[in-house]
Amino acid sequence: MSVSVKSEPGTFSSPERLHKIDQLREKNVGTHMPLPQLVVVGDQSSGKSSLLETLTGIPFPNAQGLCTRYATQITHRRDVIHDILVSIIPVSPVTDDRKQRLLAYNRSVKSTALLQKEYESIIRQVDILMDIKSKDNPQGRESFSRHILKIESQGPDEDYLTVIDVPGIFRNIEEGVTKDADRKLVMDMVESYVKQERTIILAVLPCNADVMTQEVLSLAEKYDEAGKRTLGVLTKPDLLPERNTKLVVCDLINGKKRPLNLGYYLIVNRGADEVPGNGSNTHEREAVFKTDPWSSLPPDRVGVAALRKRLQDLLHHITDKEFPKLRADARRILAAARESVDSLGSPRQSQRDLRLCLGGMAHDFQSNVRKALEANYSYHSELKEDRSNLVTEIIDITRQFNEDFMAMSSTWSFDSESREQAANYDSESSDSEDSDLESLDEQNNTVISAANIYPELESIIDLSWKPARPKRGLMSFISSYNLAVRRAGGGSPDLLSFFRHQSTKWERMAKFYVSRVILVIHRHINLGLGICEDPKVREGLKSTLEHDLIDRYRAAIKQVVFLVSLERDTKPYTVNGSFDVDVQKALTSRIVKPLQAEAARRGDRLRASDIGPVVERKTDGQHESETIHERLKTYYDIARRRFVNNIFHQAVQHCLLSGPKSPLRLFSWKWVDDLDDKSLESIAVEPHAITGRRKQLKRKIDDLEAALEILR
């Protein structure tokens, strides 16, 4: 027998809106944002099933304990054809396959009498689909499910009402049936509904228990402190034998005890022996309200008709109030979900996906490299805020290398430099020079400490150079070496021998300089790979790039060794046309300058006749040593400048910065294209957690896009 759910004319002005809310729930939107809804909450055996049957006209065979393992949504909707539709609303998280199996379940029953007859078979089918363990489905793995059983009654006499029943709260575990984890699951499920700000809580409270200690009221108060959305439904008043107990219930309804803004309602449900769905017994059961003390209660607070009208009004009110906000919420949550998906990057499952993903990163990386080489750091916030960025830092390192090389690359000071040093040592400036050396040594120690961050460079870079001023006594060395070679019968030593002795620091100083540049470039590459937000991909890239990067760094160091060998292992030669002229000028200066100084001391002019005796007083050995000194000094100055330029242009500029084999050019589209499939997958394949997260967000986006379409 069908029981219509009727309301006063004009009660509902927006049935379309109410229908849209149900559509949103079917699209799983309720898992993403709160929806206006009426949720029935109570302890087991509180009378929830009987209340729902009385309220909705849908028969619940409560003696079998059915419909207690998952939430049940009962919906009434006006339609030209009378029908009762049974289906399942899947609730995330759920696999796509299982979701489709759940959605595929649909039953159509033409009357409540037929529904009552087929109800147990329907529940058995639903239990199997939801994997609920029961006597009819012993292989089931779950005691409770978060999926929702939907029963929709439609017909020409129906008025819109949707009520959601959740499993009853229980405290005691039934051995072989429920576990403590089930108790917690049910409580979590109930709380997930109750805490939603758009949920009207129907707290079912049996009169024959101490209402003041009912856990459902405490739960409602936890999430609805002001009591603005909690409505108390008092059941089983016919089981109260004592007047005093009845008066306590009356005080609750009259707001004298534990008041709720939405108040309390008193309902008499059918007894266990009554036939489910027999609505004709409702008036007989409610005759009890004409007896004392129930007869003194306000008529609009007792009976199923009063409760039903109140629920319809509440559902209508909260739907109209929240409907405009639902659109705004859906747009906001959708935008956040899309942003979250974007933050995961492009999908990375197929080989094409992987190459496109890495190729895009390589393109961005090379774009950033070009800007870095132009000293434009606006593209990268971390580099922009870092004062020591690529080009400017390399320029500073190169300037310092040039200054250090000019000042400290020779083993001995040349005569003019020695005289300057001797003067400085006798002045206060010597303290300043010592301080400069200490400061430089500190800087180098800082560089060494920074290198410890990149242990992969340990076998390549060379930071062993320590700042030290050239020694004095070059002329003595030249004379002694000359004499030793002559005594050994080797004749006069050539310029190369002296040049090699004078340039022993070159290789270590040049390697130190290029090693510092490598450190800066390696650091920049590591920062540049920060364009990849996925730490797994970032580390995979670094690991795979490392071998080729090291080869390219090593090539720069090899170029240093080659340039050093080119200078120190080949016969000194220069096409500089002023070499011989400069040597002769230096030798002449050695004779003329002392005489000019002597003449100035006498207050006389230098005479040509003064030169001869000075030249004649010098031995052949002195002449030879001075000639070697000036030739060495002149050639050393030319070679030193040439070497510094070559180290910068060939080892740094070409090998490390802008040449085709620059480490900065390594991570490119070509490098990605050349990766074999196995390497590609090891670097960029998407972790299962990210894939799962992406699917979850995609479902969320689909749900919310569908929600906005419904809410238009």
Asked if residue 162 and residue 308 are part of one domain, the reply reads yes
* Same-domain pairing of 235 and 169: yes
pLDDT > 50? residue 64? no
pTM for the model? 0.59
Say which amino acid occupies 222: K
Query: Is 427 within a domain?
Result: no
Contacts with 114 (C-beta within 8 Å, 6 or more apart), sequence order:
84
Structural domain for 333, as ranges: 14-270+280-337
pLDDT at 616: 55
Q: For residues 585-604, b (16+ Cβ closer than 10 Å) or e, as one string?
A: ebbeebbeeeeeeeeeeeee
Q: Is the pLDDT of residue 434 over 80?
A: no
Could you tell me if 23 and 140 lie in one domain?
yes
Residues 524-540: pLDDT tens digits? 999 888 878 778 888 99
Q: What is the per-residue pLDDT for 520?
A: 92
pLDDT (mean) for 235-248: 88
Q: Is the domain of 321 the same as that of 402?
A: no
Give a yes or no: residue 7 inside a domain. Answer: no
pLDDT at 1 over 70: no
Please indicate, yes or no, if residue 426 is contained in any of the structural domains. Answer: no
Query: Residue 266's beta-bridge partner residues?
Result: 234, 302
Question: Tokens for 662?
Answer: 């620059």
Q: Edge-to-edge, what's the strand order for the sheet holding 71-78?
A: 106-109, 83-89, 148-155, 71-78, 161-165, 37-42, 199-206, 230-235, 264-266
The answer to whether the CB of 131 falls within 8 A of the CB of 145 is yes
Q: Does residue 632 form part of some domain?
A: yes
Kindly state the percentage of the chain with pLDDT values over 70: 81
Q: Are 303 and 160 in a shared domain?
A: yes
157 shares a domain with 95: yes
The contacts of residue 576 (CB under 8 Å, 6+ apart) are 638
Whether 435 has a pLDDT exceeding 70, the answer reads no
Tell me if 480 is assigned to some domain: yes
Mean pLDDT of 399-405: 94
Domain membership flag for residue 539: yes
Quote the pLDDT of residue 273: 56
pLDDT confidence of residue 708: 93
Q: How many CA atoms lie within 13 A of 556 on its CB side?
A: 37
Tens digits of residue pLDDT in 575-611 = 776 766 776 676 677 666 666 666 666 666 656 555 5
Residues 261 and 391 in one domain: no
Helix (H, G, I), strand (E, B) or coil at 33: coil
325 and 410 inside one domain = no
Q: Which segment, 9-18, 177-186, 261-270, 372-381, is predicted with the most confidence on average?
A: 261-270
**What distance in Å separates the CA atoms of residue 473 and residue 625, rounded to the nearest whole number?**
12
Q: Please count the structural domains in the chain.
A: 2
The CB density around residue 500, as the number of other CB atoms within 10 Å, is 15
| Exposed e or buried b per residue across 395-411, where buried means at least 16 C-beta atoms within 10 angstroms of its C-beta | eebbeebbebbeebbbb
Query: Per residue in 340-359, pLDDT tens?
Result: 998 887 777 788 888 888 89
In a domain, 363, yes or no: no
Same domain for 642 and 521: yes
Paired strand residues for 232: 203, 264
Query: Are residues 266 and 291 in contact, defined by beta-carbon separation less than 8 angstroms?
Result: no
Same domain, 85 and 177: yes
Mean pLDDT of 453-466: 88
Could you tell me which of 120, 142, 257, 137 has the C-alpha nearest to residue 189?
A: 142
Band of residue 620 on the pLDDT scale cut at 50, 70, 90: low
Q: Which of 233-242, 325-334, 353-362, 688-697 has the highest mean pLDDT?
A: 325-334
Over residues 364-383, the mean pLDDT reads 74
Residue of 660 and 270 predicted with greater confidence: 660
Distance CA 415, CA 413 (A): 6
Torsion of CA 454, 459, 460, 461, to 10 degrees: 70
Lowest mean pLDDT among 29-38, 195-204, 317-326, 622-631: 622-631
Q: What is the C-alpha separation between 169 and 183, in angstroms, rounded? A: 7
Confidence of residue 4 (pLDDT cuts 50, 70, 90): very low
* Mean pLDDT calculated for residue range 414-443: 58
pLDDT digits (tens, 9 = 90+) for 139-187: 888 888 989 999 999 888 887 888 888 888 877 777 766 778 888 888 8
Question: Is residue 253 over pLDDT 60?
Answer: yes
CB 301 within 8 A of CB 266: yes
Neighbours of 184 (CB within 10 A): 10
Rounded mean pLDDT of 222-236?
A: 90
Residues sharing a CB contact under 8 Å with residue 59, sequence separation 6 or more, in sequence order? 53, 112, 115, 116, 119, 276, 277
**What mean pLDDT, rounded, does the chain reach?**
82
Residue 3 pLDDT grade (very low, low, confident, very high; cuts 50, 70, 90): very low
* 285 and 400 assigned to the same domain: no
Could you tell me if 609 and 477 lie in one domain? yes
Residue 704 lies in a domain: no
Banded pLDDT at 234 (limits 50, 70, 90): very high
DSSP state of 177: T
- The C-alpha atoms of residue 658 and residue 553 are separated, in whole angstroms, by 13
Q: Which of 306, 321, 337 is the last residue of a domain?
A: 337
Q: Quick one: which H or E segment has residue 206?
A: strand 199-206
Q: Is the link from the previous residue into 206 a cis peptide, with omega within 30 of 0?
A: no
DSSP secondary structure string, 241-258? --HHHHHHHHHHHTTSSS
pLDDT reported for residue 50: 82
At 408, the pLDDT band (50, 70, 90 cuts) reads: very high
% the chain with pLDDT above 90 = 30
CATH of the domain at 242: 3.40.50.300
